Structure 1
Amino acid sequence: MVRSRPVLVLNTGSSSIKYALYNFGKTVACVFQGIVEGIGTPKSSVRHRNLQVEKDVKLQDLLIEDHKAGLKKLVELSNLGEGPSAKLYAVGHRCVHGGTAIKEPALITDEVKSAIERFSSLAPLHNPPTLQGITVAQELFHCPQVAVFDTAFHTTLPPQAYMYALPYKLYEELGIRRYGFHGTSYLFLLTRASELLKKPKEELNIIFFHLGAGASMAVVKQGICIDTTMGVTPLEGLVMATRCGDVDPAVVEILETETGMKTADVSRMMNKESGLYGLCGDKDMRTIIQAAKDGSKRHGLALQVFVHRIRKYLGAYLVELGGEVDALVFSAGIGEASGYIRGMVCEGLERFGIQIDEQENKDGKIGVKEIQSKSSKIKVLVIPTDEELSIAQQTVEVVDSQ
């Protein structure tokens, strides 16, 4: 008889908890999923969906005082104290930054918690809430807890890809280097691509496009990540919903001198008020595309800047792979849903062996699909990502190995 192993996945933010429960038995099934938002405010809300009975619960205008109260609300709505989920096999935590200290998913110990805290300066918006979530989960759920790091997938980057041309002591003393993020998504996509292409991971050369509100790209050579667009924080690289991506760092000094802004103000602007939103006042790609089609020059400009940055990195990654590419893989909200953006990214690349089929690439056809034309030398895949499932799978692997 196959043992049932319920695994709870937690993604803890400063004022939110995103969660999902997966049951590992003969097959893997998602039992429920949801999000607690607005923690610490009188406008807290909960969206909870039981996938076994297709039942949705939405609660609004609550006062969920802290993360412990948020997790208790999760327990209440999901009946975690009853039935097959009463005893969790493990809890998996999404952790953004492990720095150079942790290169793979890890059973949470005092040493692991110390490492998460040590690198909080590199992810001040993410690591402290994660630590808080871990502490609360350890109080409520007496089972193994595992930290799964966004940076882990990118620890294979060679020095020439991760080093900044800054004084070397900044790397030695402060750990300032490129780390990369969205690693949990990339690991999931690499595994699915291997299955779809019927080729071992270690033989695959792939360029990945994780295009959502947060956007990045990564290039894998023979199954190993050799470069990615994000840096010491998720701000570097592509244009995103509200993040500017690559920008001349001298802009910071100019803004401080000319406007009186402080460094923290500039950082907030670059993270929260820039990107697509900064260029055109909108951050939903569907709205931007429609406005551009309707003649809005600023929305059209935002689209062009967004795609130009992607194509610039695509060209660099084609060079890094020497043109030997098995597939381009599009994923995340925009990458999965917008044939319009995929078409713009791949336009005019026939001489590089990349050509998409317009019919296969149409919007609205959500799910795994191949969208390259018959004459394309390089496959172009759309693969929906599932970061929560990836965290759950990695959590089980860690606990099973103990």
Structure 2
Amino acid sequence: MKRAVECLILGVALLAGCSDSGSDTAGATSETTNGIAVAVYDVNRDPIPQARVTLYSKADFAVVNSAVANDSGLAHFDSLAEECSSGNCFVEGIAGADSALMNWSEFKPTISETEIATQIELAPSASLTLRTGATTDEEVFEFLRLKSTPYMASRSGSDYVFAHVPAGMFTVVAGDSAVATFSLEAGAEADTLVNVPGKTLEYVFEDFDDGDSLNNLAKNYRNYGWYYIASGTAIWIKPDSVGGFGGAIVDGVRGKHLSLQFDLGDSGYVLLGTHLGLDTGYYDLGALTAIRMKVRGDCDFSFALEHYKDLGDNNFQKSLWHATADTTWKEFVFRPGKEKLNASVYQVEWKNIAHEIGFVSIFVSSGSFLEIDEIVFEGIDSVEAPAP
């Protein structure tokens, strides 16, 4: 999930006008006189047939006119409304299934003797999900939109989703109030928390800042803290038997974080885990809306919330999410309802175990190192005392 990136700058250039010699210069057309010719290209400068081009009024985002590009990527309009010719319109370009390619920019036509012409470049569309961390049945905003666009978010529980939007710099607004500003790269899938005072609920389960082996829940309720297990041919390099768990907590530019190193051998894996309570105690995490954590590494890993009850041979039902770490720090978001299901290894739907969680587990099945910081539960701001 790429997040803050460069704003895509969409060039607007004059297309060559028609000539008596029938020039086939890009954008030239003899089909339109005193109308509009909008040439639609992709990032490789190839024309995009069947692209849908729409002009919107800046005043109220009403559709002024629309056309479909021909086989040469040219969208023709017979005439141009006064407000568009005077620069008071936006132009939108869309192509492909599910708006795979998009453009949104100011319409700045250039007028030649025979026509008004411009060109737009379509790039892969982005998506933007705003998490509020509120309870799932609470409507935090009546609606959200991207400022200076007609794009509205749809609500999903306590989240607000812009499924397909153009790349670029946008401000999200609720009514006339700015909520946040984002720069979206082409093709990005942005997923971020927007803190809404009085609405957002979050609980920092572990940030490693205290430098000990106990998760933050232990400040209020006793537990055994973090443990680490190597299975099969795997061995731990850090933590080791000398420094213990605390020896894997290091200082960096981010402050303290956990730095794990391991050798998995031919067929091993390592497990990092912690009890939420003591032995058979469990917690109700049914209000959880998301788990987020910051990670750096060179491995595949899985994050799991596990049921408290041992099914035998130290096997527990679990809801599990899989991810691949990057060698630069990246925030991962795991959502209840999007867990990986595999009954043969006791991976079940979140709703089946959400109210009786006993463990947090992190499994690593490849690579050589994993660094972790700021494991946060969203949708809750406290954890009640465990059931005995």
Give the number of the structure whose residues are more often helix, by fraction.
1
- The verdict on a shared fold, with TM-score over 0.5 as the criterion, is no
Normalised by the length of structure 1, the TM-score is 0.22
Normalised by the length of structure 2, the TM-score is 0.23
Q: Find the structure with the greater CA-based Rg.
A: 2
Give the number of the structure whose residues are more often strand, by fraction.
2
